[in-house]
């Protein structure tokens, strides 16, 4: 036992000598901290103001190399186009990729029905976006509302910020995550002693302009639900610690999945999901055999299996890209808008989110079908997913809420 902790131990001797690089890194940080500038209104400590460290951005080549290395080292993901059945869930996910303003998807269904597999397979189809290099919040160089305060200040001064492209992020929110890990933390000691706002970004910062996925969302702790509600409502995450406040953009597509047998979701959070998909177990024996065989093939040779679906994946990716580009040109007639709102009113849907999401989802579906005008058929396809979870619960009602929406749709639109 003593040999393990002795200075001459082979364990210590074999430890990589990374001390010089760490010293160099800390020296660089101190040098950057000396180049201080105001971050809004500083919080006073006597005559001291708080500043934020002006950290230099890495060069484009290093960022691209790191991205390529991460891509090669990540686990192989099951191809989206290889998933059998579950068309309702797949459509809801695709519509949210086409128009992120729909507001996300809540997927509820039996265990073992491929909910999390389908969500994670979406990562291959996500389009690329422009981001500022070295910015932890994935700031949009063209949209001030999606910029962190640091980048916005640099742009307002007329400074040219380095830009690169990256795929939309998908961030997993673990059930056991702490609030500091989700929101980010402030180094209070450094703030008080050096006057520097040392902020360690959390998962909400990483998910900005991307997707935040919560598996088993109905089991999420209440304090994390409150954090998600706050960020989803405002589009910003604010961290308050010991009189110090830091805010950053946190606009993300919220995707959740869960099993209804394990508990209900709080209605405040449920309303924040734009669409709701119900997933059931496949009953057809032939389909079940096909799913089992496909999964066995993937487990045996993930790379070869993904290669066999490469052309289908590329075709679907191109379809999504075209739909995103054509979305602004899609129109919906005033008469159809009125009928959508009439359905919502007669179903006693609280608020106007149902109307807004149904309009957006039907336009996204029309764009996916390469049309520039929404039809009643498009609305009929998406309206159950947009309104099902917004109806008031009646404990004595035996009919499914999605069927209630469909019945009311045909009553109004006929």
Phi-psi region of 15 (alpha: psi -120 to 50; beta: other; left: phi over 0): beta
Catalytic residue among 209, 251, 272, 353: 353
Tokens 């805010």, located at residue = 247
Cα Rg of the chain, angstroms: 25
CA distance 278 to 174: 22
| Neighbouring-strand partners of residue 257 | 107, 215
- CA terminus-to-terminus distance, the chain: 82
Candidates 294, 273, 308; CA nearest to 117 is 294
Q: Is the torsion defined by CA of 392, 393, 399, 401 positive or negative? A: positive
CA distance 236 to 83: 35
User: Would you tell me how many other CB atoms lie within 10 Å of the CB of residue 301?
Assistant: 12
Candidates 76, 70, 74, 73; CA nearest to 302 is 76
User: Would you tell me how many other CB atoms lie within 10 Å of the CB of residue 3?
Assistant: 9
CA distances from 270 to 220, 279, 337, 343, 359 (A): 13, 17, 24, 20, 19
DSSP state of 397: -
| Neighbouring-strand partners of residue 248 | 237
Q: Is 48 a catalytic residue?
A: no
Residues involved in catalysis: 353
């Amino acid at each position: 036992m003593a040999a393990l902790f002795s200075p001459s131990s082979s364990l210590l001797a074999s430890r990589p000598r990374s001390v010089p690089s760490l010293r160099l890194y800390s020296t660089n940080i101190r040098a950057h901290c000396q180049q201080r500038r105001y971050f809004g209104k500083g919080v006073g400590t006597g005559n001291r103001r708080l500043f934020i460290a002006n950290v230099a951005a890495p060069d484009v080549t290093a960022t691209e190399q790191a991205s390529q290395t991460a891509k090669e080292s990540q686990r192989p993901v099951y191809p989206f186009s290889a998933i059998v059945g579950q068309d309702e869930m797949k459509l809801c996910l695709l519509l949210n990729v086409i128009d992120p303003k729909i507001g996300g998807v809540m997927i509820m269904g039996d265990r073992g029905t491929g909910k999390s597999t389908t969500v994670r397979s979406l990562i291959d189809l996500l389009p690329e976006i422009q981001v500022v290099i070295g910015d932890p919040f994935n700031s949009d160089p063209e949209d001030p509302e999606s910029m962190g305060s640091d980048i916005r200040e640099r742009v307002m001064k007329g400074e040219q910020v380095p830009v690169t492209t990256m795929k939309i992020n998908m961030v997993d929110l673990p059930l056991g995550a702490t609030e500091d890990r989700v929101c980010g933390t402030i180094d209070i000691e450094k703030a008080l002693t050096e006057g520097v706002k040392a902020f360690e970004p959390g998962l909400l910062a990483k998910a900005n302009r991307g997707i935040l996925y919560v598996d088993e969302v109905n089991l999420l702790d209440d304090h994390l639900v409150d954090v998600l509600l706050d960020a989803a409502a405002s589009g910003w995450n604010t961290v308050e610690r010991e009189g110090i406040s830091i805010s950053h953009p946190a606009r993300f597509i919220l995707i959740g999945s869960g099993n209804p047998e394990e508990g209900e979701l709080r209605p405040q959070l449920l309303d924040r999901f734009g669409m709701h998909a119900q997933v059931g177990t496949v009953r057809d024996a032939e389909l079940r055999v096909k799913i089992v065989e496909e999964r066995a093939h993937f487990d045996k040779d993930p790379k070869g299996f993904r290669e066999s679906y490469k052309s289908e994946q590329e075709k679907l990716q191109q379809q999504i890209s075209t739909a995103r580009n054509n979305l602004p040109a899609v129109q919906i007639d005033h008469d159809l808008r009125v009928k959508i709102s009439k359905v919502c009113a007669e179903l006693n849907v609280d608020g106007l989110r149902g109307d807004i999401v149904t309009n957006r989802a039907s336009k996204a579906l029309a764009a996916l079908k390469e049309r520039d005008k929404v039809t009643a058929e498009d609305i009929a396809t998406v309206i159950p997913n947009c309104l099902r979870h917004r109806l008031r619960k009646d404990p004595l009602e035996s009919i499914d809420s999605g069927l209630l929406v469909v019945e009311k749709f045909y009553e109004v639109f006929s």
